[in-house]
Amino acid sequence: MGRLFGTDGIRGRANADLTPELAMAVAMAAARTLAESDRSHPPLAVVGRDPRASGEMLEAAVVAGLTSAGANVVRVGVLPTPGVAFLTAEAKADLGVMLSASHNPMPDNGIKLFAAGGHKLPDEVEMTIEAAVERGAGGARPVAGGIGRVHDLLDGTDHYVQHLVGTVPHRLDGLKVVVDCANGAASEVAPAAYEEAGAEVIAIHAEPDGLNINDGCGSTHLEPLKAAVREHGAHLGIAHDGDADRCLTVTADGAEVDGDEIMAILALAMRDAGALTADTLVATVMSNLGLRLAMAEAGVRLVETKVGDRYVLEELRASGLALGGEQSGHVVMPAYATTGDGILTGLHLMARMAATGRSLADLASVVTKLPQVLINVPVGDRQAGASAPEVLAATAEVEAQLGATGRVLLRPSGTEPLVRVMVEAATVDTAREVAERIAAVVREASPAKS
């Protein structure tokens, strides 16, 4: 059995890779792993999903697995991933389960697990669950009154919206926003939260039918949002993905504002409010060098982690920091959420606009992004392709050439026989020339298998 968990839970084609049988086995293993054995009452699990048609099938399997392991289940229905994490913490549940493949197309689905408190699982816990799934059910199952019960939480959405709006430091009156809900889990929550906080809201792609999630819309397809912002004369546009844990934005004239720029805006807002712990921002190595340069000029320290919001979360928790995220739009504010929350991000971004009277374009101009070129190099051996002596020598030579005006990042793919060569430089021509030069060395060091 290969690695079950990826960087963001378990994901695959629903009913092919991710079957009801697998979902049930994972749920049983998670219940047994995460529930405290010394409790005098049955473990409690919160289960939510995005609107994919396959979510109904997988929800049934997960609920069956949890209850067969003796866990009581609270179903919250269609809700964003951070909403499930929030309710897991609020209910003092032993675990939370979210069924979603985030920004992936409709045929895919996934399982995201949360421990008590609504926190993502560390690697060692995932490995324990994987091992239990591989071993099979095993052991005695509860019978009679020991079987878990199922309850539906009918006001989970309202409770989550109230939580979100309660975090906003300033009303959003006077702001007009177009929100692209990706026909996903944000479709009800995002417009409700933005309106209650005071904004005038135009919602698009907010009519999920189980089949249209992420279909030409949301954070992976920004063109419809840009057009709608111009059409309605809005101050900004906000795009969420299928489970609303990320947020990307566009300015009034349709320019894209990504996670790096959003983090910079929020970091300066929090610094000015005295809420940016140790004046430090956490980002991944994929964030643009322009973010680091902008933060250095503003007196904000930038800590880098491996790619994946889970590693940002780990650093935030370990160091007690207040803000982190990814270029892709996952932004984490631990004072209000245990995971990336796209709607929370959108609210606080608009609050900064409302408080300063500045446009999104003006606020985002604090970051001057360097041109970035990424080449995926097919290789025979990922590690050799990224760490061969001649590759390291070529990389060092280029880094010396670029100095403070650029950088090089080599990353072996976690799932494919590829080495990703990313270069940032003062001009796109320089970045492309340098990236192609290093890619050629990588190919020679570890030729792809025919």
Q: How far apart are CA 97 and CA 62, in angstroms?
A: 8
- In the block, tokens 């929350």 appear at 341
Bridge partner list, 420:
376, 411
Structure tokens at 191: 């417009």
Q: Distance between CA 259 and CA 243 in Å, rounded?
A: 17
Give pLDDT < 70 ranges for the chain: 1-2, 36-40, 137-138, 414-415, 450
Residue 429 labelled as part of a binding site: no
DSSP 56-94: HHHHHHHHHHHHHTT-EEEEEEE--HHHHHHHHHHTT-S
Q: Which two tokens stand for residue 242?
A: 């299928």
H or E stretch at 95: strand 95-99
Question: Would you state the pLDDT for residue 344?
Answer: 98
What residues act catalytically?
102
Domain spanning 159-364: which superfamily? Alpha-D-Glucose-1,6-Bisphosphate, subunit A, domain 3 (3.40.120.10)
Q: Tell me, what's the pLDDT at 415?
A: 64
Between vectors from CA 16 to CA 15 and to CA 22, what angle results, nearest 5°? 70
pLDDT of residue 193: 98
Q: Does 100 belong to an annotated binding site?
A: no
Q: How high is the pLDDT of residue 137?
A: 64
**C-alpha atoms less than 13 angstroms from C-alpha of 447 in its C-beta half-sphere:** 3
Q: Model confidence over 139-192: pLDDT tens digits?
A: 788 899 989 999 999 999 999 999 999 999 999 999 999 999 999 999 999 999
Q: How far apart are CA 422 and CA 337, in angstroms?
A: 31
Domain 372-445 CATH class label:
alpha beta
Q: What are the angstrom distances between the C-alpha of 345 and each of 222, 239, 248, 332, 334?
A: 17, 11, 9, 8, 12
- Domain ranges in the chain are 10-154, 159-364, 372-445
pLDDT at 1: 47
Kindly provide the residue ranges of all beta strands, DSSP E only, lying in 105-255, ordered along the sequence. Answer: 108-115, 150-152, 176-180, 200-204, 236-240, 247-251
Determine whether the annotation assigns residue 260 to a binding site.
no
List strands edge to edge, sheet with 280-284: 301-305, 280-284, 324-325, 331-332
The CATH code belonging to domain 10-154 is 3.40.120.10
Equal fold, 159-364 vs 372-445 = no
DSSP 120: B
The number of residues in the chain equals 450
pLDDT digits (tens, 9 = 90+) for 107-141: 999 999 999 999 988 888 899 999 999 888 667 88
- Is position 102 annotated in a ligand binding site? yes
pLDDT reported for residue 34: 82
User: CB count, 10 Å around CB of 297?
Assistant: 9
pLDDT of res. 405: 85
